Structure 1
């Protein structure tokens, strides 16, 4: 079994879950990420995903974020991605989802 290329830390308080992601996330970790996001949006009233320490994402990660955002919207849960690194911000911008997922798109 290969070593994961990313880690996460989850904190929950007063119905708000913060997920801090670290590392490089690609299709090899996308199922684990989707499960993590699904669990969070189905249990919290607000979910913040901090990607400050993420250096790389691919289309499967974007898909996981969009799916989580859609599920959250259906449930009345707030979902936001914060602190994207320059590389992650660029990928989110190029794919057209930055303004949908990120709190501060400036």
Structure 2
């Protein structure tokens, strides 16, 4: 099981991620697209990196908005894996 990050580690990691916020034990971002098709295309781009890292985000889709939530469920909070995955997701257009 991955080790939970301390509050200080979480704040340090979060400060390096543009567009992401920490809410309790979750790291999250919302991306807005021109329409539903573009939102789904973005979600489809998340599949390969999530599978290869074995770290799957929670995803909420509402027409042209995609909310991505990361947390390490098995560890009960935020770990380095969450921030690593957020960095990968941040690079996807």
* TM-score of the superposed pair, with normalisation by structure 1: 0.25
The structure carrying a bigger strand percent of its residues is 1
Higher relative contact order (CA 8 A, sep 6+): 2
* TM-score of the superposed pair, with normalisation by structure 2: 0.28
